[in-house]
Amino acid sequence: LVTNDDGIESQGLRILVEWAKKLGEVTVSAPMVQQSAKSHAINIHDPIHVQRVPYMDGVTAYSVCSTPVDCVRFATLGLKTTYDLVLSGINRGFNMGEDILYSGTCGCIFEAKLRGIKAVAFSTDPTTFEHAKAHLDTAWGYIQANNLFDYCDLYNVNIPLEPKGTVLTRQG
- Between CA 129 and CA 57 the distance in angstroms is 22
Render each residue's pLDDT in the chain as its tens digit; 172 residues.
Answer: 999 999 999 999 999 999 999 999 999 999 999 999 999 999 999 999 999 999 999 899 999 999 999 999 999 999 999 999 999 999 999 999 999 999 999 999 999 999 999 999 999 999 999 999 999 999 999 999 999 999 999 999 999 999 999 999 888 6
Q: How far is CA 109 from CA 149, 161, 162, in A?
A: 13, 23, 25
Check: pTM over 0.75? Answer yes or no.
Answer: yes
pLDDT for position 171: 80
Residue 111, pLDDT score: 98
Q: Convert the pLDDT of each residue in 116-130 to its tens digit.
A: 999 999 999 999 999
Residue 106 CB contacts under 8 Å (≥ 6 apart), including other chains: 88, 95, 100, 121, 156
Position 170 scores a pLDDT of: 83
How many CA within 13 A on the CB side of residue 89?
29
CA separation for the pair 104, 110 (Å, rounded): 10
**How many CA within 13 A on the CB side of residue 149?**
14
CA 118 to chain centre: 11
